[in-house]
Structure 1
Amino acid sequence: MGTTTIFCQSDEFCKEFEPRWEQHLLQSSLKWRRRQGALCLSEIMTIMVGFHLSGYRTFKHYYLNYVLRYQRGYFPGLVSYNRFVELLQGSLVPLCCFLTSRFGQCSGISFIDSTKISVCHNRRIGSH
């Protein structure tokens, strides 16, 4: 699945989700500035889904070594890694709802492979 496909799906989801989500949020007496950030919510979600589809083990390596180097054309307003991690907290609920909406239908038949995996050393049992 390509970056453009993931972005289009998440952007369509965000167009429907964000107005409904803001209706359910509690109102505060404090005035909040609602400035548009460098990255929109659908771009943040696209990067997160791309990480889970990639082979990287840590998000930091994925963001620094792949997104910042090779994905600048897709995300012109990229921010630093530290700022992106700060932006993640506001995208957790929409991301979970997006992933839940993308579940497939169960056919009723599930296969579970219960064969043993041979371990070369007892210290590596947890990683297999």
Structure 2
Amino acid sequence: MADRQASWPAAAPPPPGYLPSNRAGQPQPSSFPGLPPRPVYREPHPVSALPVVSGLAATTLWFALFGALGHDLVSYAWWTIVAAISAWLMALVLTLVGDRGVAVGIAVASGVGLSLALGFVTLRWVGTLDWPLW
């Protein structure tokens, strides 16, 4: 006859902060009797609105300064491409080691700025049938 396997060991208690707590610091009871309370999941690096808005504002100023260097559509488009590449590199650096909210603002503003510039290039291309960036 086969030997009977031992029962499973008791589960370890959850780590501190895993169970949600009420104002008294005690875990909240489940809405269904007999079930454990629901876990609360938190983002380890939360993003708030103020850093995103500051990234948007800084990148908008960045694109305005670079766009002001251009004297016609071709130079404006090339300066905008340079500004977008440098902004994306900064967003990548900020994503890895800095504030992710600012990185999100930079990425959004640079995407909008580059789309706007290349939209103007496309309109010129459609109107003249000549690609203006070469």
Query: If the TM-score is normalised by the length of the shorter chain, which range does it land in?
Result: under 0.3
TM-score (norm 1): 0.24
Relative contact order: is structure 1 or structure 2 higher (C-alpha 8 Å, sep ≥ 6)?
1
Provide TM-score, normalisation by structure 2. Answer: 0.23
